[in-house]
Amino acid sequence: MPFERRVTRKLRVGDIEVGGGAPVSVQSMTTTKTADVDGTLAQIYALAGAGADIVRVTCNTVEAAQGIAEMMPRSPVPIVADVHFQYRLALAAIEAGVSALRLNPGNIRNERHIKEVASVAKAAGIPIRIGVNAGSLDKDLLDSYGGPVPEALVASAMQEVRYLDEVDFHDIKISVKHSNVALMVESYRLLADTTEYPLHLGVTEAGPPPGGLIKSVAGIATLLSEGIGDTIRFSLTADPVEEAKAGRALLEYLGLRERSTLDFIACPSCGRAEVDVIKVASEANERLEALKLPIQVAVMGCVVNGPGEAREADLGLAAGRGRGHLFIKGEVVRVVPEAEMVDALLDEARLLAEQGAEARLAAADVTAADLAAEERLELISIQGDANRSQERRQAVKDVAGAEDSV
Ligand code: SF4
């Protein structure tokens, strides 16, 4: 595990463990009317396919709660009911067999009602997320803290924790979401210092991509790198499938979940590029994504630096003079005409996923490495060595006053 994780209590949302060292899970929320059972289930399936471990649906009407009852046996992932204002709808969602509840302490404020929901949830064996949101914070707390500051968000969450503790309810996870990234980070840090309950991370109302993605990554990744966070949600103004994909990808890029999908890397291009890198990379990325292979693939604009810089990639393509060089773990295995290079990359990706790197290296075209080396030297002689390695060796020798032994 790349980051030391904060120790939290463990709970279960359906068959997904949250906290206590369980893998960080990805959540998203449907945008359909929950009463539309088939439409909502179709979206839940799409979200699960994109990497969501848990899906939240709104439970804002009796019909929505009835919809939950119908979809629970058919859902591929646990469902969380999102309840605001009407505690009776929380009771209805439990009756519907939901896997967990999310309550907003800013709008379900009656202590007796909260405790009643917790007691029924305890009997049903389901957890509750205390979902504090800076935009809907309790007015009394806003007044006493002078605004939605981290201390106010944490106070709201801990007040709700006390109500639940008083009825011996401890299957709790907590979120203190803010739309301001810096305040969101501070709120969660403060909360992590205050409680051992698992935390659900998110930047609320992050907006559409790319801004929403950047805000979410900034807030969530900062906390995850500090070991804080047990489950995450990107709140994007976009198709929720994008939220699930982004959440899953973030965890994989941070090494917190195993790679299940393509990790596509590409150089940013520069004056050395022998092809239009943006065009080639976009086409390759789009076609590779459709294959859903759990490998890392690189597209690099030149053979001078590409294979070396992307030597850690499972598979790569670097552009030479009218040709594409395919390489596996930095070793050139095939050189193909430029017009065929993206097709060849896709073929090699499929074979690599099926047969593994060793078999594909063993099947390499024996002439490819020499051809690639020749072409690389030719380009260096035309363009110069980007890393100025010969020049630098000479400079090092001059400074050290030593003989160059190589
Ligand atoms: S791989 Fe080549 S084209 Fe791409 S950024 Fe590096 S030097 Fe430039």
Quick check: 395 pLDDT over 90?
A: no
Amino acid 389: pLDDT: 59
Chain segment 118-174, per-residue pLDDT in tens: 999 999 999 999 999 999 898 899 999 999 999 999 999 999 999 999 999 999 999
What is the atom index within ligand 1 of the atom nearest the CA of 268?
5
Residues 237 and 325 occupy one common structural domain: no
- End position of a domain, from candidates 233, 253, 273: 253
Residues 56 and 194 occupy one common structural domain: yes
102 inside domain: yes
Quick check: 42 pLDDT over 50?
A: yes
Query: What is the distance in A from the centroid of ligand 1 to the CA of 387?
Result: 11
173 inside domain: yes
> How large is the average pLDDT for residues 391-403?
74
User: Closest Cα partner for 316 from 273, 274, 303?
Assistant: 303
Rounded Cα distance, 206 and 404, in Å: 57
Residues 236 and 179 occupy one common structural domain: yes
Considering only residues 225 and 261, tell me which one the structure prediction assigns the higher pLDDT. 225
Amino acid 406: pLDDT: 42
2 inside domain: no
DSSP letter at 72 equals G
Considering only residues 342 and 396, tell me which one the structure prediction assigns the higher pLDDT. 342
Residues 247 and 341 occupy one common structural domain: no
User: Closest Cα partner for 295 from 315, 318, 281?
Assistant: 315
Note whether 171 and 230 are within 8 A (CB): no
At 394, the pLDDT band (50, 70, 90 cuts) reads: confident
Considering only residues 385 and 312, tell me which one the structure prediction assigns the higher pLDDT. 312
Residues 240 and 267 occupy one common structural domain: no
398 inside domain: no
For residue 297, what is the domain's CATH number? Answer: 3.30.413.10
Amino acid 390: pLDDT: 61
Chain segment 300-359, per-residue pLDDT in tens: 999 888 888 899 999 999 998 899 999 999 899 999 999 999 999 999 999 999 999 999
Query: What is the distance in A from the centroid of ligand 1 to the CA of 303?
Result: 8
> How large is the average pLDDT for residues 100-114?
93
Quick check: 14 pLDDT over 80?
A: yes
Amino acid identity, position 2: P
Chain segment 263-311, per-residue pLDDT in tens: 999 999 998 898 999 999 999 999 999 998 999 999 999 988 888 889 9
Look-up of token digits 């990639």? 313
Q: Which residues pair with 18 in a beta bridge?
A: 11
- Taking CA atoms only, the protein residue closest to ligand 1 atom 5 is 269
Quick check: 388 pLDDT over 80?
A: no
> How large is the average pLDDT for residues 190-216?
97
For residue 206, what is the domain's CATH number? Answer: 3.20.20.20
Residues 286 and 345 occupy one common structural domain: yes
Residues 23 and 62 occupy one common structural domain: yes
- Taking CA atoms only, the protein residue closest to ligand 1 atom 1 is 306
149 inside domain: yes
DSSP letter at 56 equals E
- End position of a domain, from candidates 223, 253, 283: 253
What is the atom index within ligand 1 of the atom nearest the CA of 304?
2
3 inside domain: no
Residues 224 and 286 occupy one common structural domain: no
Q: Cα-atom radius of gyration of the chain, to the nearest Å?
A: 26
Quick check: 401 pLDDT over 80?
A: no
Sheet containing 263-266: order of strands? 263-266, 296-300, 315-319, 323-328, 331-337
- End position of a domain, from candidates 185, 219, 253: 253
Amino acid 100: pLDDT: 98
Q: What is the mean pLDDT of the chain?
A: 93
Amino acid 320: pLDDT: 86
Quick check: 402 pLDDT over 70?
A: no
Domain count for the chain, please give it: 2
Best substitution site from 302, 380, 382, 385 to test ligand 1's pocket, by max atoms within 8 Å of Cβ? 302
Note whether 28 and 240 are within 8 A (CB): yes
Best substitution site from 272, 276, 382 to test ligand 1's pocket, by max atoms within 8 Å of Cβ? 272
21 inside domain: yes
Residues 204 and 269 occupy one common structural domain: no
Amino acid 405: pLDDT: 46
Residues 47 and 172 occupy one common structural domain: yes
Residues 87 and 195 occupy one common structural domain: yes
What is the atom index within ligand 1 of the atom nearest the CA of 301?
3
DSSP letter at 320 equals -
132 inside domain: yes
What is the atom index within ligand 1 of the atom nearest the CA of 270?
8
Cβ < 6 A, ligand 1 pocket: 267-270, 272-273, 300-302, 304-306, 309, 386
Amino acid 225: pLDDT: 97
Rounded Cα distance, 203 and 192, in Å: 16
Query: What is the distance in A from the centroid of ligand 1 to the CA of 297?
Result: 16
Residue 284's domain comprises 263-389
Residues 46 and 195 occupy one common structural domain: yes
- Taking CA atoms only, the protein residue closest to ligand 1 atom 6 is 305
What is the atom index within ligand 1 of the atom nearest the CA of 318?
1
Rounded Cα distance, 270 and 11, in Å: 50
> How large is the average pLDDT for residues 401-406?
55
